[in-house]
Amino acid sequence: MNRLTLENVVIKYGDITVINDVSLRVDSGEMIFITGANGSGKSTLTKTIAGLLPISSGKITRAEKISYVPQIEEADRNFPAKVREIVLTGTQRKGKLFYSKHDKELAKRFTNALGIDGLVDSEIKTLSGGQLRRVYLARALCGEPELLLLDEPCAGLDAESHEILFKVLCEILSKGCAILMVTHDDLDLTGIKANRVIRIEGGKIHE
């Protein structure tokens, strides 16, 4: 089943073309790595797919349930919130105002899976960078996404956390989720096999 289609997509910042006439198709169960040098447009592309940036031309067709983990979360580290509340927000969708029992079970399941179950009642301002990263990953997974966009998910995670993350990703891939992961890392170290590796260079993609 198709989860994402990009047709001749062009993304510009003012007069600068960042992504130039890119087409891509991603199906359920596919894991795609997006690589490229700094400033090549990897994060811009994922942010656009997440619906946070407009396209200048072309067409994007995406699955309804998307979860996105940005490279840097633009949120106040001192915001008065506990881990449990932040994780649960991942289950919110258009037209859905309250959390169900199922949502709370998902939050419990993914906080357990990512090894942060002991932190659910902690205030987020007390967490380390790596712990907060796992909170955001748990939040994204809670949304039971059909398409998961991960921008440098391994940044700030230790080796054990990598292993835990990839185990969870393998599980959701087997359930039909498609994953698009931006990574700088040496692919051999990621511990997970990508179906395709895409390199962005000069605004174009090369497979």
Partner 1 sequence: MNEILELFTYQFVLRALIAGSLISVCTSVLGVVLVLKHYSLIGHGLSEIGFASLSIAAALNIPAMIISTPSVILASFVIMFVSQRYKTAGDIAIAIASSIALALGIIISSLSGSVSSTSSYLFGSVLAISQWDLVFSIVLSLVIIAAFIVFYNRLFLITYNEDYARSLGINTTFYQLLISILTALIVVLGMRIMGTLLISGVIILPAVSARKVASDFRMLVIISGVISFVAFVAGLLLSFVFNVPAGAGVIIANTLILIILKVLVK
Among 1, 14, 15, 94, binds partner 1 (CB under 8 A): 94
Residue among 9 and 135 whose Cβ is closer to partner 1:
135
**163 makes contact with partner 1 (CB under 8 A):** no
Taking the complex as a whole, the smallest distance from the CB of residue 111 to partner 1 amounts, in Å, to: 16
Among 8, 13, 57, 79, contact with partner 1 (rule: CB under 8 A): 79
Write the CB contacts of 156 (distance below 8 Å, at least 6 apart in sequence): 129, 130, 133
Measured between alpha carbons, how far is 109 from 168 in angstroms, rounded to an integer?
11
139-160 per-residue burial string, b: 16 or more CB within 10 A, e: under 16 = bbbbbbbbbbbbbbbbeebeee
Assess 92 for contact with partner 1 (CB under 8 A).
yes
DSSP 3-state of 154? coil
19, exposed or middle or buried, with CB in 10 Å at 0-12, 13-18, 19+? buried
Question: Does the protein bind partner 1 through residue 76 (CB under 8 A)?
Answer: yes
| CA atoms of 161 and 112, how far apart (whole Å) | 12
Binding test (CB under 8 A) with partner 1, winner from 6, 66, 107, 179:
66
Q: Are 132 and 71 in contact (CB under 8 A)?
A: no
Q: Does 137 bind partner 1 (CB under 8 A)?
A: no
What the block records as the tokens of 13 is 């910042």
Write phi, then psi, for 32 (nearest 5 degrees): -125, 130
> Among candidates 144, 159, 152, which has minimal Cα distance to 67?
144
Least Å from the CB of residue 172 to partner 1: 17
Which two three-digit tokens encode residue 26? 């991603």
- Binds partner 1 by CB under 8 A, chosen from 2, 56, 75, 175: 75
Is 135 or 165 the residue whose CB approaches partner 1 more closely? Answer: 135
Residue 191 and residue 166 in contact, taking contact as beta carbons nearer than 8 Å: yes
Cβ closest to partner 1, residue 50 vs residue 203: 50
Q: Is position 13 an interface residue for partner 1 (rule: CB under 8 A)?
A: no
User: Rule CB under 8 A: is residue 89 a binding residue for partner 1?
Assistant: yes
29 to 58, contacts with partner 1 by CB under 8 A? 50-52
Residues within the interface to partner 1 (CB under 8 A): 50-52, 64, 66-68, 70, 73-76, 79-82, 85-86, 88-90, 92-94, 97-99, 123, 143
